[in-house]
Structure 1
Amino acid sequence: MTRLLDKDLLVLLCRLLMSVCMIRYGAAKLIDIDLFVNHVTTRRFMELVARGAPAPLWFAYANALFQTAAGLCVLIGFRARVAAGLLVVWLAVLTFVGHPFWRLSGGDALLNESLFYRNLGLLAAFLLIVAHGAGRWAVDATDRK
């Protein structure tokens, strides 16, 4: 077939598409850390782990840096399997704690259901990177012969 359907080109395109979400939202948090600290998902998480105490600023920055850096690692293919695996764990927690649409009603339930299923799709995409790697066009691919 044509080079357009090359498996490694498709993996590169997938890495680009799946990383955009992580990089964009991680960078937005770094620019305005209140996006994270005051977000309903953060408050739900803090209710579970700290009896509702506000998220410490260091935690907010660590989260934003992790999300941005892991997204960049998957994008360029540097330790992509490890970064994708960490994102799977992070997204699983975020998805089930942050978007419990089954406990909500009305517009909140609809929005959170949409975000829940979007995150499941991202989880699947990152799991594919964990399982199959980042492909030929990745920084780590230069280590292979």
Structure 2
Amino acid sequence: MFATLQNPLALVGRILIALLFIPAGFGKISGFAGTVGYATSVGMPMPTVAVAVGLLIELLGGLALLFGFGTRIAALALAVFTLAASFFFHAYWALPAGQQMMQQLLFFKNVAVTGGLLAFAAFGAGAWSVDGARSGR
């Protein structure tokens, strides 16, 4: 049963994960200065460059994942980005105990998203993708 569902599940998985990154990338375009200010406030080095790079990774990587184009590379780039961003923006261990719960939840949500991205990096996009069409699957 799962073999027949492999391609539709891969497609739905790519869509759902891309929905996390594509709107965030567009949000950074429209709120670039505010995002740079927030990145500065959490101590991110070279915040303007970091936000610009993050915007490109989220937008281009999210679109690549959505369409299944260069999926393994896009998923790996998004995984590294997500994990790195988590340490800056969800550093729950540096907060007072009363403020840790939400940031800890967001941190581990990002760890789980990273796991899903690593699965796409390992196994690819499935046949219902640009990568699948190009390989003749």
Give the AA of the match of 1:13: V
Aligned match for 2:124, one of 121, 133, 137: 133
**Correspondence for 1:91 among 82, 85, 88:** 82
Q: In structure 1, the residue corresponding to 2:116 is in which secondary structure?
A: helix
Residue of structure 2 in register with 1:65 after alignment? 56
Structure-2 change in CA distance of 1:12 and 1:30 (3 Å): same
> C-alpha separation between the residues in 2 aligned to 1:126 and 1:110?
24
2:15 partner amino acid: L
Contact 2:57–2:77, Cα closer than 8 Å, also in 1: no
For residues 103 and 25 of structure 1, what CA distance do their matches in structure 2 show? Answer: 25
Q: Which runs of 4+ in 1 moved over 3 A?
A: none
Residue aligned with 1:38, SS: helix
1:66-97 superposed Cα distances (whole Å, 9 cap, x missing partner): 21110110110000100000111111111123
5+ long unaligned stretches in structure 2: none
Aligned residues: 136
Q: Give unpaired runs (5+ residues) of structure 1.
A: none
Distance change >3 Å, CA 45–CA 122, structure 1 → 2: farther
SS in 2 for 1:6: helix
Structure 1 Cα separation of the partners of residues 87 and 59 of structure 2: 21
Distance 1:125 1:141 in 2: 19
Q: Which residue of 2 aligns with 1:26?
A: 25
Shift, 1:43, TM fit: 3.2
State the Cα deviation string for residues 24-47 of structure 1 (Å, max 9, x = none).
Answer: 1111111111342122x553242x
TM-score by length of 1: 0.83
In 1, Cα distance between the equivalents of 2:78 and 2:43? 17
